[in-house]
Copies of this chain bind each other. A is one copy, B any other.
Amino acid sequence: MTGFLSDNVSGIHPEIMDALRKENSGYRKPYGNDEQSARLDVAFSELFDTEVVVLPCATGTAANSLALSLMAGPINSICVHEKSHVYIDECNAPEFFCGGARLSPLPGANGKIAETSLAKVIGVIGDVHAPQPSAISITQTTEVGTVYSIAEIEAISGFARSHDFKVHMDGARFANAVATLDCHPADLTWRAGIDALSFGATKNGCMAAEAVVLFDKTLIETAHHRQKRAGQLLSKQRFLATQLLAYLHDDLWLRNARHANHKISELAEMLGSIEGVELPVQIESNMIFAKFTAGQNAKLEKAGLAGYLFDSGEMRICCSWATTDDDIQQFVRCIKDDHT
């Protein structure tokens, strides 16, 4: 198979593998009491230009759910997009970590929560019969490959703050959004009102590493115990920290994201001239949702090159840090080929 199904079909970036190899000698204190782990808060604080606390996790589902559990308890509800990963693809993990909080699915074009739908949520504030909204979770890059602008994030977080909600960002593809918007990561997060970020790293070059980045200090109180309780405090955490540090080092995270974003643009450009292919108007990240003919779909499937095919008839195509020119040529040839 080849690599357009998702960005998590890629392996470990050589720089990260190299860092793991270097860290692998001698003895270190377990459970995060090692030197690498000690550097995490510092490194992320530098990256985000503010003091943060970081909770490294093994999966994005754990990172999202852990972050949300700091914002919403059992009597609360969390505003999410109806197509968001936390709602669709995490098998009740947020509900689990939050002790039975509800995710309220809200509509909105382009994978973004519509402000009008948020406005409807506040009618229940104070009503003892209804779970009380306490948080909003947005995904950046969204599940449909679009990107919230800073202004859009500020509009949501402004609404949130006016009702005393917290705001979480599922940043499984945060790097791709930063690459697209070409802004400082702080501008997309705490400066725009984000309280906690799931900073994704696995899809973009790590083996298994995500970081919950807490901007809001009030969220820290139970955070480390909740991390432990969730089975997300690794005994040899030094290797998780090592991945994350190598990922930040010399802007590897951004370099990788730029590569992935660039490759999808290249691919789209080549596809644009092929008959039967319908492309989105705009590309905002490392994925596109394209429509192919039935014959093209079949060829891609047969060649192991297909992405997820949705009921809408659209196929999601992802590039990653690992996508090569050869990969792209292979994809284009497959589509073009009239004789299969």
Contacts and interface: CB of A to CB of B under 8 A. Distances in A.
Interface of A: 1-3, 5-6, 8-12, 17, 20-21, 23-31, 57-63, 65-66, 73-77, 88-93, 95-97, 99-103, 105, 128-132, 202-203, 207-208, 222, 224-236, 239-240, 322
9 contacts: A2-B27, A5-B29, A11-B27, A12-B24, A20-B20, A61-B228, A93-B228, A99-B99, A100-B100
A89 B99 CA distance: 19
B9 A228 contact: no
Given A99-B100, A233-B59, A207 B6 contact: no
A128 B224 contact: yes
Given A74-B92, A96-B100, A231-B232, A239 B12 contact: yes
B29 A24 contact: no
Q: How many copies does the complex hold?
A: 4
Nearest to A69: B74
B24 A9 contact: no
A110 B66 CA distance: 37
Contact of A132 (B9, B75, B225): B225
Q: Which of A26, A60, A77, A129 has most B Cβ within 10 Å? A: A129
B30 A207 contact: no
Nearest to A132: B225
Contacts of A31: 128-129
Pairs A-B, 5 closest by C-beta atoms: A62-B231, A75-B225, A3-B27, A58-B58, A99-B99
A208 B239 contact: yes
A73 B235 contact: no
